[in-house]
A and B are shown apart, each in its own frame.
Chain A
Amino acid sequence: MFIEPINQKESRGRVELKRFEQTLRQAMILPIVACLFLAAVLVWQIHGSNVTVDRVEQSDQRITLATLIEKLVIDEETGLRGYQVTSDPRFLAPYHYAEAPMQQAIARLQVIATPEQKDALAQFATEHQLWHQTFAESLIATIGAGGHADNDDVNLTGRAEMDQMRSLLNTIVSTSQQVRIDRADQWHRQTRQILAIFIVLALSVGIFISLFTRNRLEHISAAFQTALNLQRRRAEELFQSEQHLRTTLTSIGDGVISCHVDGRVELMNPIAQELTGWIESEARDRPLDEVFHIVNEATREPVENPVSKVQRLNRIVGIANHTVLIRKDGSEIAIDDSGSPIRNAAGELTGIVMVFRDVTMERRTRAALLANEKLAVAGRLAATIAHEIHNPLDSVANLLYLLQQDPTDEESKHYLEIAQTELTRVTHISRAMLSLYRESKAPVPVNLKDMLEDLLLLMEGRFNALGVQVSSDLPPGVIVEGFPAELRQVFTNIITNAAEAAGQDGAVTVRVIPQKAVVKPSGDNTQAGAVVEICDNGPGIAPEIRDRLFHPFFTTKGERGTGLGLWVSQGIIRKHAGSIQLDSRNEGPDRGTIASVFLASKPVIDLGGD
């Protein structure tokens, strides 16, 4: 089964989310942009239209001004005509009055007129000036002087000038009107155009927005669909993964019980059900102690279950040695177990998982191995002891022969004394050998000097055969508590190893160093007791095998060794709450190996031990 890595899924999910956000942004921004564009086009168009309206107004102003000028000209002429007919100066009032406004109007029109109109206006001004001076003023002067101004030529000339002026003004008005009409048309066209553009643009923008939105929505829908599919696939994968783990859990050869953080049973695999005798449905939600009842094999005291130990220590815990599980039906099995905390991503304890297995066979095998090693030690010692007994027996046999050869009384007495001594020695050896295998139920005081001297005596022949010089420094009165037979086994082993390592012409030293209780600054207390040091000047232990020395079945002696000696020794020393340490150098003046065994005077002996 392929399970996609979680981070890959997450990164894909992030990409989807990014695309979705991008689409949302586009769906919001693009209509705004389109509307802004539409507004800009409309503003531009309306601005054009306003310009046209301004121009129309300008044309209106021109027409107004030209019409005003024409009216003022007519007023002037009318006033002048009235004065000509009546000679009454009151008729001249409009004439005089028109002068100033006309100049103003001309000036204003001059500013806003088209170039052609300006020319016409300039011509009008010239004509008006001419009319004013040559016709009007002279006429007023003539009448003012009491004369008559009935000269038709003069009047016709005046009339012609006036017509000329009017024609010029009419030109201005009519061109202005034409311009106004054109501009008004333009304005109408522009309005229609704006309307058309507005409709077209509005339609385009509408269509664009709808098409775009539709397109984006399709994208979103696709993204949503993808996300949904991904989610579905993840759920499927999660289910598969859970199935996979569940299968793993049920196929595992060890019993597994997982518990809630409060210690109630959550799940049990088939092996756990078989070992405890509880079925999962019955055990679920019960406190673990009820389902998983464990006691110490030797003391029958209840043992703290790994779950409460994990709750207390909040770390992975192993089991105490020699634990027995009492099954639902009351039968017992030896087990080995461990508990581990289950933590969530934040590191909080969310549950506890416990793994345990039936070690009944393992313990039996171990016991068999230990018995085997005891026999092997006995076998090795037997050869040595045979040699030791042989020597005094040989002497005794020789003495008996001498006694048969008619000795004097004195000689006989002497022979018998020697024979007596030699037989005492034999007895001593056989007693030492017997004590090697005398089992005791409880620890007893062991005098290290006596024990080691006995051992060295038994092994003397072996040392001789190997050509090894043995020296010892055994102060009297050093006593530790323990099981003598087991301690003898340990020291026989270590001393034999040392002698074999030292080899021909080698030296072995056995030393006892009493040790007082010391309270170290670190707070660790050193117990009172003794260190037994066994040193040899052999080649030392090769660095690459040092780690394996205490492993069962590890031997450098080929067929001659069982590979159990140090393993068993370590077990025995641990049971005595002591320690065993090997310090080895392969070269230099202090070449060789020092085995140091610490034994406490009053150890707390692990009675559950083997």
Chain B
Amino acid sequence: MIENKTPLILCVDDEVVGLRVRKMLLERAGYRVLTAEDGRSGIDLFASQPIDAVVLDYAMPGMHGGEVAKRMRQAKPTVPILLLSAYVGLPEEVSSLVDIYMTKGEGAPALLQKLGNLLSM
């Protein structure tokens, strides 16, 4: 029952290694983690699972992070979304869709802190 109270995080990224490392990092921080390697399976998981927060990569083949975030918002508008990007500048219409966005180079502590903030809101 305690496990149920641990937040369930959905990580979406086409970079397999990066995704694996991120999962390990979040699990070490005490979260439960689900992963998806592209936008479509991410949306499916988001719809079927009680996701508490999403860590989403922007640059992905097929459907980019902005589009994925838009669809997730339509399905469950209250779930916070953190958008990760290798680019520094994201288009305005994408950054306004998500709760927070950060670049990949900011490091693990920053990611964990921002995710913590999102979940405690």
Contact = CB atoms under 8 A, between A and B. Distances in A.
Q: Do A and B bind each other?
A: yes
B15 A397 contact: no
B24 interface: yes
Nearest to B39: A467
B61 interface: yes
Contacts of A397: 105, 107-108
B105 A464 contact: no
A422 interface: yes
B114 to A, nearest CB: 14
A468 B62 CA distance: 6
A395 B17 contact: yes
B18 to A, nearest CB: 5
| Chain A at the B interface: SS class | helix
A560 to B, nearest CB: 15
B5 interface: no
A221 B7 CA distance: 123
A595 B111 CA distance: 44
Interface in A363-401: 386-387, 390-395, 397-399, 401
A387 B87 CA distance: 7
A457 to B, nearest CB: 13
Contact of B62 (A391, A392, A398, A467): A467
B40 to A, nearest CB: 11
B21 A418 contact: yes
A395 B18 contact: yes
Interface in A459-474: 461, 463-465, 467-469
A405 interface: yes
A252 interface: no
Nearest to B103: A390
B47 interface: no
B25 interface: yes
Contacts of B28: 402, 405
B27 to A, nearest CB: 10
A505 interface: yes
B22 interface: yes
A22 interface: no
Contacts of A464: 14, 59-61, 64
Given A401-B25, A402-B28, A394 B62 contact: no
A461 B107 contact: no
Interface string B13-51: 011011011101100100000000000000000000000
Given A387-B86, A390-B104, A391-B86, A398 B61 contact: no
7 contacts: A387-B86, A387-B87, A390-B103, A391-B18, A464-B14, A464-B59, A464-B60
- List 8 A-B pairs, minimum CB-CB distance, nearest first: A401-B108, A394-B104, A390-B86, A464-B59, A387-B86, A395-B21, A395-B18, A398-B21
Interface of A: 386-387, 390-395, 397-399, 401-402, 405, 415, 418, 421-422, 461, 463-465, 467-469, 504-505
